[in-house]
Amino acid sequence: MKWLLILLLSATILFVVSISNTPAVPPTRYMYLTDRETTRYNEIIWFWTYDSLYGAVRSNDYIGLKYSPHFFGPVITSQDRFLYFDPQNIHFEYEPVFNAPPFFFPRRIPELYDSADVRIESDDYSLMTRVALKAEDGIEIHQYQLGMPSPDPGEEDNLIEELEPPDSSIIYIDGQCEVYGILAGRLTISSTRDMYLIDNIIYDGADPFSADFNEDEMEHILGLVSEQNIIIKDTYCNGRNNGFGQYGPNQIDNHSIAINGSLLALNESFTFEHQNDDWELYQGPSPDERGIIHLKGSLLQVRRGYLHRSNHGGTGYGNHYRFDERLNEQTPPGLNVNPGNEYYGRYDSLNIPSGNSMFFDLNVGKLTIQPGAEIGLWGDDALTVRDSLFVLGTEDEPVFFYAFSDSSMINLWDYTPYVNIQHAQFDSTVYIRFYGDNTNIENCKFNGRVTAAGDVRFVNNTFSSVTDFERCRNVLVEKCLIKDGLKFKEYVDSCRIVNNTIVGSHDRAGLEIRYFGSFEAVNNIIAYNEKGIWRRAGNYEPVLRYNDVFGSWRGEDWVYCEPGEGSISADPLFVDTDNSDFHLSEESPCIDTGDPDSPRDPDGTRADMGAFYFDQPNSVNDVQESLPSAFNVSIYPNPFNSRTLLKVKTDVIGLAYLKVYDITGREVINDVKAVANGESSFTINSRTLGSAGVYIAQVMIAGEKQTVKLVYLQ
């Protein structure tokens, strides 16, 4: 017995050493893998008596154990302990491992689109795509309108594709999909939205009840990948209406579900439909025990989902998971995903390539992140940048930041002189603090908290959580959607808030102002917040012009401030407020009512209020008269050593926008100046550019652009 214990312990240690020293293990090599073991409402989902897991279990989160679950493989967590609720005879085949390195979770797998043999569109997500696996008869793909009754398996019509048995093939579906049947071949099915399992999904030759098969003889393999949830649909095949008890354990056509394959819910959960929550429209019987999930393969879900609920006497499934040992040597098509590189410690400079990377306790001087990078953050101080940060995302290849803990911080607070972030998306648990001489953020989506200071320029961004400014000098916020208010907590020297839509803050003002040197807010829509614009402190009056402030639920649209010229208080008539579509409908009073001296909208009409203009392609309204009749750019000296002056001459009243790029296309300067008396000028300092060389300067006024070349001689 003593020797057996030593052997088991040694096997566990060898397993942990292997995962610690091999960061490139594909996620399909774990039977069960999660980032978070709680719901979005912070509810713990417990492993309990009816759960038996044969294979490696790994999580970045605290694993909750209740009653008597059984684990017949290694159990690894990045936390320091388990969470227990009334434990009773919990079985571990191996000694559990704590404080393991965090595991990186891919949130997208672009290779599945790039390598797809079949790509299915869903007509602006209005269609459901059904993939029926027909063993040696191949694959049928059907589509039907969402909202219509779902056909029973085998009763489909509207066949759109008929395929031979797949030989290492990938089906990519842009939209929702349903899957069932028997697979003969090697296949991965990927969907950009929820994937529903409507009946058994097994290999040809597998047991239809237990999903078991002889691994030495099995040649078929399947991957099921959703960029959202993988959901067991509430069908009679899957045990609808208490199917496990109603039909008996031997009538397997009407209860439980058997699944073969690797399941990957890249951003959400593996869960089940109709959980009998009191707020659901659907209510099943009490109890509604539907059977057992017999899974032989592997399961990755970023956030663990419910598969059983205790409400209404019990609803859902027990879990019986077995690892397919073949996945140690092979993966389904397209799923040999490299989890990426780990970065931690102190560096002078780093250049992060596209693909997956993980940061934890990383402190770096100059950090450059290339297009298409996906960055996993671990810990409260995941990333600190000392000197400069360049995030070079593009519209086609944005950069993604995710947190693999309850919260992670990107700290640009201790005076990071230069920050330029383009086309990046940040998870809701990522908290960012900006402070520097030149912070420029464009075309980004922030789902978590943002705090900014110093010289800041935010253009064309979406902020879904708390957005605060502290210790600011110069601030420009333009064409941004801000969903939880904009708050200036401390003094700001100079600030312009232009053409933003600020909506939906239930416990904050849409725009809160304190002390300032100069403050101007023009062409904004500030609607449906606790308060509208609130001048909370300060001796000066802000310049407020052509804003629509409406619907503050406290009834206070203008608090200690005057609306100013051209301002209104009218329903902006958004397209669909309930679904966060804040574009203007054609009846909106905010169309063509912005400051007439502002740059015209891209359709040539007078500026609209808000972040999203209403396109009027057939109403150009003397657009030709708005264009510069004399738009000249001059630079002297050029070439130059330390600094040069770029001058603009035009007869248009408005703003001149300057962008300067190096020869690689990286943007190094982004600035805006008002045109006064027909002229505007920009001073370009060599310290801002960096190294000597050729640079391209682009100037835009009233939608027109001119480009000139700069030569910096060191």
| Block residue for tokens 């700069």 | 710
Out of 591, 623, 655, a domain closes at 623
Q: Which residues pair with 161 in a beta bridge?
A: 141
Low-confidence residues of the chain: pLDDT under 50: 1-23, 619-629
Q: Do 283 and 402 have their domain in common?
A: no
The set of residues, in sequence order, having a beta carbon less than 8 Å from that of 495 and lying 6+ positions away, is 472, 474, 475, 476, 477, 488, 516, 518, 519, 520
Domain membership flag for residue 323: no
Give the separation between CA 88 and CA 313, rounded to whole angstroms.
21
Q: Do 77 and 120 have their domain in common?
A: no
Residue spans of alpha helices (H) in 635-708? 686-689
Q: Which residues pair with 531 in a beta bridge?
A: 509
Q: Do 240 and 361 have their domain in common?
A: no
Domain membership flag for residue 508: yes
Q: Do 304 and 356 have their domain in common?
A: no
SS3 content of the chain, % helix, strand, coil (to 5): 10, 45, 45
Domain membership flag for residue 338: no
Question: Cβ distance 547 to 523 under 8 Å?
Answer: yes
Comparing C-alpha atoms, which of 429, 437, 423, 474 is closest to residue 673?
Answer: 474
pLDDT in tens, 621-649: 433 334 444 578 888 888 888 889 998 88
Token pair for 85 = 């609720």
The per-residue pLDDT for 651 is 76
Q: Do 293 and 434 have their domain in common?
A: no
Q: Do 294 and 360 have their domain in common?
A: no
Give the separation between CA 185 and CA 173, rounded to whole angstroms.
19
The per-residue pLDDT for 664 is 62
Q: Do 145 and 218 have their domain in common?
A: yes
pLDDT in tens, 275-315: 998 888 888 899 999 999 999 999 999 999 999 998 888 99
Question: Cβ distance 646 to 697 under 8 Å?
Answer: yes
Three-state DSSP string of 119-173? EEECCCCCEEEEEEEEECCCEEEEEEECCCCCCCCCCCCCEEEEECCCCCEEEEE
How many CB atoms neighbour CB 675 within 10 A? 20
Domain membership flag for residue 192: yes
Give the separation between CA 707 and CA 651, rounded to whole angstroms.
19
Comparing C-alpha atoms, which of 364, 445, 368, 447 is closest to residue 411?
Answer: 364
Comparing C-alpha atoms, which of 304, 295, 244, 302 is closest to residue 271?
Answer: 304
Domain membership flag for residue 100: no
**Can you list the positions of beta strands (E) in 404-547?**
408-412, 418-422, 424-426, 430-442, 445-446, 450-459, 462-463, 467-478, 481-482, 486-488, 492-498, 501-503, 509-513, 516-522, 525-527, 531-535, 543-545
Q: Among positive and negative, which fits the CA dihedral 328, 332, 338, 339?
A: negative
Question: Cβ distance 705 to 629 under 8 Å?
Answer: no
Q: Do 160 and 223 have their domain in common?
A: yes
CATH of the domain at 702: 2.60.40.1940
Q: Is 134 exposed, middle or buried (0-12, 13-18, 19+ CB in 10 A)?
A: middle
How many CB atoms neighbour CB 336 within 10 A? 12
Domain membership of residue 670 as a residue range: 632-712
The per-residue pLDDT for 656 is 83
Domain membership flag for residue 343: no
Comparing C-alpha atoms, which of 293, 257, 288 is closest to residue 179?
Answer: 257
Q: Do 656 and 512 have their domain in common?
A: no
Q: Do 600 and 669 have their domain in common?
A: no
The per-residue pLDDT for 631 is 75
Which DSSP category does 678 fall into? T
Give the separation between CA 705 and CA 698, rounded to whole angstroms.
7
Question: Domain count of the chain?
Answer: 4
Q: Do 281 and 370 have their domain in common?
A: no
Domain membership flag for residue 344: no
Q: State the pairing for strand pair 424-426/169-174.
A: unpaired
Q: Do 607 and 678 have their domain in common?
A: no
Question: Cβ distance 481 to 501 under 8 Å?
Answer: yes
Domain membership flag for residue 45: yes
The per-residue pLDDT for 653 is 66
CA distances from 115 to 26, 74, 191 (A): 18, 34, 14
- The C-alpha angle with vertex 445 and arms to 439 and 450, in degrees rounded to 5, equals 55
**What is the Cβ-side half-sphere exposure of residue 27, based on CA atoms within 13 angstroms?**
30
